[in-house]
Amino acid sequence: MARIAFRGERIDIGGRSLRMVRAGPALADRKGPLVVCEHGAFGCGTDWAVVQERLAARGLASLAYDRAGIGHSDPGPEPRDGRAINDDLEALLDKLGETGPILLAGHSMGGLIVRLFVLERTRPVAGVVFVDAVTPEVLGLPGGAPAIHTFGVLLQAVSHGAKLGMMVPISYLTGNLIGLPGEAAAEKRRIHAMAPHARGAAAEVTAWPATSKLAGAAEMPLDLPVAVVMAGSPASRGPLKALQEKPAKRALHGYIEHVTASTHANLLGPHYADAILRGVEHVLAAG
């Protein structure tokens, strides 16, 4: 079987490997924290390609990776809740020799994972950037829990269909809603069509309620710089917007930006990624 090409490299974290992509200065030349990028549900490390390129252009180092069972990473032990995911991230950072502070950026469901990292880990965190991220309280909104359950069931169905090749043509329509360019776009479409990817994403969504409970067990430190970058106008998605804004409003060094013309997906793309960089720059300036 021909090897599927992908950007970055696979790193063994103890009998299984995670695919990761690094950009920007090498460890020896770095002056600031490493920006660690967590993708959303059914996403992958490729989602951050544009953001990583722009971070590198500003002299900032970043790392994006496919979580276990996602994209080009090997599956991990279940349940795939946020605690297991962060165990893998810690192992990956240790394997790479990363001992300095990190700046966590989480898109969508990735927001729960980075919040939980702050609560449970001792590794120094310079700050957090939430990118149209969900919060633990979302499950309490009307229809929140049923919607997440339905999403998990849908991903299971997608994984079965992908085994028969059904996702290949669909991936050309839905596999790049972010608007990634060139090689990253092709990589994202290939991943979007893979049955193991859908199966891994379904495992994460199944564990979403458990991850939410863990991430909502305590508040983040008040002195931790927090940036919240959201898609759509402030008037849209009223209750959800208020929950998304909450971490920045509570923080002593908070930043909020609504990117009115963007969507949940293309906020990571070339037209709107600079808003995320403004969030990163706020966190760095406040640290």
The whole-number pLDDT of residue 1 equals 31
User: Once rounded to an integer, what is the mean pLDDT over residues 6-14?
Assistant: 96
Candidate from 22-31, 181-190, 231-240, 272-281 with smallest mean pLDDT: 231-240
CA distance 9 to 146: 37
Question: Would you say domain 9-140+207-286 falls under CATH 3.40.50.720?
Answer: no
- Domain spans, the chain: 9-140+207-286
Split at pLDDT 50, 70, 90, the class of 168 is low
Reading the block at residue 262, the tokens are 């963007």
The whole-number pLDDT of residue 148 equals 74
Q: Which amino acid is at 175?
A: G
User: Once rounded to an integer, what is the mean pLDDT over residues 143-149?
Assistant: 73
User: Once rounded to an integer, what is the mean pLDDT over residues 53-80?
Assistant: 97
User: Once rounded to an integer, what is the mean pLDDT over residues 257-277?
Assistant: 97
pLDDT, one tens digit per residue, over 22-36 is 999 998 899 899 999
11 forms beta bridges with 18
Split at pLDDT 50, 70, 90, the class of 8 is very high
Starting from the edge strand earliest in sequence, which strands make up the sheet with 9-12, in order?
A: 9-12, 17-23, 62-65, 34-38, 102-107, 125-131, 226-231, 254-259
The whole-number pLDDT of residue 193 equals 86
